[in-house]
Amino acid sequence: MSETITFTIDGKEVSAQPGQTIMQAADAAGIYIPRLCAFEGLVPHGSCRVCTVMVNGRAQAACTQPVADGIVVENDTEKLLAIRRDIIEMLFVEGNHYCMFCEKSGNCELQALAYRFGIAAPKYPYLFPKREIDATHPDIFIDRNRCVLCGRCVRASRDVDGKGVFEFVGRGPQKRVAVNAEANLADTDLKTSDKAVEVCPVGAILRKRVGYAVPVGRRRYDHKPIGSDIEQAASKK
Amino acid sequence: MAKAKVATTSLCGCFGCHMSLLDIDDRILKLVELVDFNKSPINDIKEFTERCTVGLIEGGCCNEENVRVLRDFRKHCDILISVGDCATMGGIPAMRNTIPLKECLDEAYLNGPTVHNPSGQIPNDPEIPLLLNRVYPCHEVVKIDYHLPGCPPSADTLWEALVALLTDKPVALPYELIKYD
């Protein structure tokens, strides 16, 4: 099967292979669609809705929606930017995101999205929820204050590591990441080399004794917005 | 042209944002040409003596005095700016927001591992401002016009925003000046 599909994103013609998602096709074309739960190599989840695009006038998650011939996709519009900005702001007020002492700061994808969207402060009231920390594991900890429920750890542990260490429990505001053990993280077979530890976009799952390894000014998003690697890769072609 | 009047205060903060303001280096000479400071810990003027163009608020509201000062700033300033993460979201002091106030006081004055308090009393003098049930971001108490995030916001962030406001330009901070840490 090598038939090529063509469609447009914000008026620009993009070609793709059947079976690709809109996000995969956009990445290849150097068009960045903002995302949080999507991660290359993991099954798309479609849960964070940051990658929402309009497909023929209907809102769809670009990470799960397959390409089709002739579809008209809107990505970089005022309306979608407002929706995405609202989602990011809600994620900030729904958790306890103390960037000032978080080891992930500067390399955090949630923070980087807020920077890219130029958010100085969320417009919603902070909820200050009470969340649990699990530091029982000798090498890894979970700080649920920072968790955005993207499900990357759940998918990575289940599909890549083949362990199923993490799973969601509860619904709505009570939803949280739980560990598959009698009690705590220490009782699982999670290892620091697991994909599940690496993929956390925020500082919710971190390796211990790493600390603030990279100085301010040399971290991933200190100078370049998230997504600029995708945009630049295309401009070099 | 008359110089703009600027007031500053540190509510439930650590004075780090004020230190960052001093960190503008030799631009402080230009700042002196642009503004006069009114009520501020920088010049130790305790009460407002005239109306101000800009009020810079460091820190959130953790007690009744913070709320009184913040409302006083809103009354006397045309533009009010939340400076730093404490003013914007409560910051480090807001970590107590998930713990009942009584538990916080008990830990600090009775049960903490390093506490020496034979009388077993928790300070309750009328001169000490009453603590609020939790720490409030400033915009949940009064209307705030601008937010400058950061812990602290860099000297460049403060300088760019202040100069833009005082020269009637839009506050459009470049990517590298919006940081939450």
Give per-residue pLDDT as tens, B88-122. 999 999 999 999 999 999 999 999 999 999 999 99
What does the pLDDT read at residue A236?
A: 64
**Nearest residue to A23 via CA among A64, A83, A71:** A64
What does the pLDDT read at residue A233?
A: 83
Whether this model's ipTM surpasses 0.85 comes out as yes
Residue with tokens 């110089």: B3
Report the residue from A99, A122, A130 with minimal CB separation from B181: A99
Token reading at B106: 């008990």
Q: Is B91 on the interface with A (CB under 8 A)?
A: yes
Q: Is B56 on the interface with A (CB under 8 A)?
A: no
* Residue B47 belongs to domain spanning: 4-95+133-177
| pLDDT confidence tier of residue A226, bands split at 50, 70 and 90 | very high
CA gap B151, B83 in Å, rounded: 9
- At B58, phi and psi to the nearest 5? -100, 140
Note whether residue B28 is domain-resident. Answer: yes
How crowded is the C-beta side of A204, counted as CA atoms within 13 Å?
A: 27
Chain centroid to CA A110: 7
Tell me what the mean pLDDT of segment A191-205 comes to: 98
| Domains detected in chain A | 5-76 (3.10.20.740), 84-207 (3.30.70.20)
The answer to whether B137 contacts A126, with C-beta atoms less than 8 Å apart, is yes
What does the pLDDT read at residue B135?
A: 98
DSSP-based three-state secondary structure for A115: helix
Beta strands of B52-125 (E only): which ranges?
A: 52-58, 61-63, 77-83
Note whether residue B24 is domain-resident. Answer: yes
Is residue B80 scored above 90 in pLDDT? yes
Q: From B98, which residue of chain A is nearest by alpha-carbon distance?
A: A130
Q: From A104, which residue of chain B is nearest by alpha-carbon distance?
A: B181
Q: Strand order in A58-61's β-sheet? A: A12-16, A5-9, A72-74, A52-55, A58-61
Give tens-digit pLDDT for A93-139. 999 999 999 999 999 999 999 999 999 999 999 999 999 999 999 99
Note whether residue B33 is domain-resident. Answer: yes
Domain count within chain B: 1
CA gap A203, A183 in Å, rounded: 22
Residue A138 CB burial class (10 angstroms; 0-12, 13-18, ≥19) = exposed
The answer to whether B178 contacts A120, with C-beta atoms less than 8 Å apart, is yes
Tell me what the mean pLDDT of segment A49-54 comes to: 98
Token reading at B160: 């760019």
CA gap A28, A32 in Å, rounded: 9
Whether residue B109 contacts residue B40, with contact meaning beta carbons closer than 8 Å, is answered with no
CA gap A215, A205 in Å, rounded: 20
Give tens-digit pLDDT for A89-102. 999 999 999 999 99
Note whether residue B19 is domain-resident. Answer: yes
Q: What single-letter amino acid sits at A150?
A: C
- At B138, phi and psi to the nearest 5? -60, -35
Is residue A1 scored above 80 in pLDDT? no
- At A60, phi and psi to the nearest 5? -140, 155
Whether residue B181 contacts residue B150, with contact meaning beta carbons closer than 8 Å, is answered with yes
What does the pLDDT read at residue A3?
A: 86
Q: Could you tell me how many CB contacts below 8 A there are between chain A and chain B?
A: 64
CA gap B107, A85 in Å, rounded: 39
Residue A87 CB burial class (10 angstroms; 0-12, 13-18, ≥19) = buried
The answer to whether A120 contacts B149, with C-beta atoms less than 8 Å apart, is yes
Residue B57: strand pairing partners: B9, B82
CA gap A36, A154 in Å, rounded: 14
Whether residue B135 contacts residue B90, with contact meaning beta carbons closer than 8 Å, is answered with yes
Note whether residue B107 is domain-resident. Answer: no
The answer to whether B92 contacts A98, with C-beta atoms less than 8 Å apart, is yes
| pLDDT confidence tier of residue A195, bands split at 50, 70 and 90 | very high
Q: From B85, which residue of chain A is nearest by alpha-carbon distance?
A: A100
- At A30, phi and psi to the nearest 5? 80, 20
Average pLDDT over all residues of chain B: 96
Note whether residue B31 is domain-resident. Answer: yes
Residue with tokens 């020269």: B167
Residue B77 belongs to domain with CATH number: 3.40.50.700
ω into B152 cis (within 30 of 0)? yes
CA gap A134, A142 in Å, rounded: 5
Report the residue from A105, A125, A131 with minimal CB separation from B140: A125
Is residue B125 scored above 80 in pLDDT? yes
Whether residue B9 contacts residue B69, with contact meaning beta carbons closer than 8 Å, is answered with yes
Token reading at B57: 């608020």
Q: What angle do CA A13, A14, A15 make, to 5 degrees?
A: 130
**Nearest residue to A17 via CA among A61, A56, A69, A53:** A69
Report the residue from A96, A100, A125 with minimal CB separation from B181: A100
Residues 6+ apart with CB under 8 A from B14: B59, B86, B92
Residue with tokens 């630049």: A232
Note whether residue B116 is domain-resident. Answer: no
Note whether residue B125 is domain-resident. Answer: no
